[in-house]
Amino acid sequence: MTKRVFQFLLCGLVVFSCAGLSAPRQDEVTAAAQAMVERFADSWNRADGAAYGENYWPDAELIDPSGVVVSGRAAIVKEHVDLWAGAFKGTRQKVTVRRVKVLSAEYFLVDFDAYLTGVRAAPPGATLPADGVLVAHLKHIMQKRGGEWRVLFAQNTLVAVPQPRR
């Protein structure tokens, strides 16, 4: 009988544990994605490295538009502070969420587009459109830790050849 009680308790523990791992609701991840994207643009527009860094986990990784892998929140912040002091000084960014996809209980993907104005010259490999707006497609894998969603992995792809806007 003790073996059956143990099996019953173990089974109940497994079911109870798995119940907590259910995927988050779509409205939760959509709200988290929108909040992150708004913080992303706001911190960019203020050239605020500390605020920009708050979007990322300390062990985050970013692949920048040139394909360079940047590891860690501190390095990601430094790269952006350097951009704001140099090539992208005074630029402004607007962002639009394209898609949010739940991956698991702890992860979701957010695809968004960034529109950068005030750029004086296009980065290597890109053409500055006649309207002066550089466009990038970004994919961020968000991870939930301790009730907070932040970026764990990010990839930023610059649109090298301008495309007509929809």
Handedness of CA 40, 42, 44, 48 (dihedral sign): negative
Residue found under tokens 């961020």: 140
CATH number of residue 87's parent domain: 3.10.450.50
43 domain-assigned: yes
Phi-psi region of 146 (alpha: psi -120 to 50; beta: other; left: phi over 0): left
Contact 158, 138 (CB under 8 A): no
Number of domains in the chain: 1
Q: What is the residue range of 33's domain? A: 22-158
3-state secondary structure of 136: strand
pLDDT digit of tens for each residue in the chain (166 aa)?
Answer: 555 543 444 444 344 444 445 677 888 989 999 999 999 999 999 999 999 999 999 999 999 988 999 999 999 999 999 999 988 999 999 999 999 999 999 999 999 999 999 988 777 777 888 888 999 999 999 999 999 999 999 999 998 765 566 6
88 domain-assigned: yes
